[in-house]
Amino acid sequence: MRTLSPKFRLTLKYYIMETITIVVGYLAAICMVCGYLPQAIYTIRTRDTDGIALPTFMSMGLGSVFFVVQGVLLGNMPLIITNVITGLSSLIIFAIKINNDYLKPRRRNRQER
């Protein structure tokens, strides 16, 4: 019976670990998007942003930008895809929040004068 050479075993172990890492990355991406999109869809449909803290979405959006940069530097597609989606969602929610909290009240005040 032949045994595997140490070099082959090391290569096989590396391949298995890399495959597991990629699968875990894609699973994390799916979980993040599935956790984030319902809030974005709800906000886009209803325009309700009363329960959303602006600093939270600003920091999450900025974090997404940094993760996209990291994903590009590492060549990590799950990281890039996830954070492009969450970053765009944050940007849309941020725009709706700014419109609701700052622009609409100003328009109302101008109309009342």
5: three-class secondary structure by DSSP: coil
- Check: CB of residue 84 under 8 Å from CB of residue 61: no
Q: Is the per-residue pLDDT at 111 higher than 80?
A: no
Instruction: State percent of the chain over pLDDT 90.
Output: 19
User: Does the pTM of the predicted model rise above 0.85?
Assistant: no
**Per-residue model confidence (pLDDT) at position 113:** 66
The answer to whether residue 1 is domain-embedded is: no
Question: Which tens digits make up the pLDDT trace of 7-59?
Answer: 777 788 888 988 898 888 888 888 888 888 888 889 889 989 888 888 887 88
**Contacts for 37 with CB less than 8 Å, ≥ 6 apart:** 85, 89
The answer to whether residue 91 is domain-embedded is: yes
Q: What angle do CA 40, 70, 81 make, to 5 degrees?
A: 40
**Per-residue model confidence (pLDDT) at position 22:** 84
- Check: CB of residue 92 under 8 Å from CB of residue 46: no
Q: What average pLDDT does the segment 62-80 reach?
A: 91
Which residue range forms the structural domain that includes residue 93?
A: 6-112
Q: How many domains does the chain have?
A: 1
Q: Is the per-residue pLDDT at 69 higher than 90?
A: yes
Identity of residue 64: S
Rounded Cα gap, residues 26 and 111, in angstroms = 50
The answer to whether residue 28 is domain-embedded is: yes
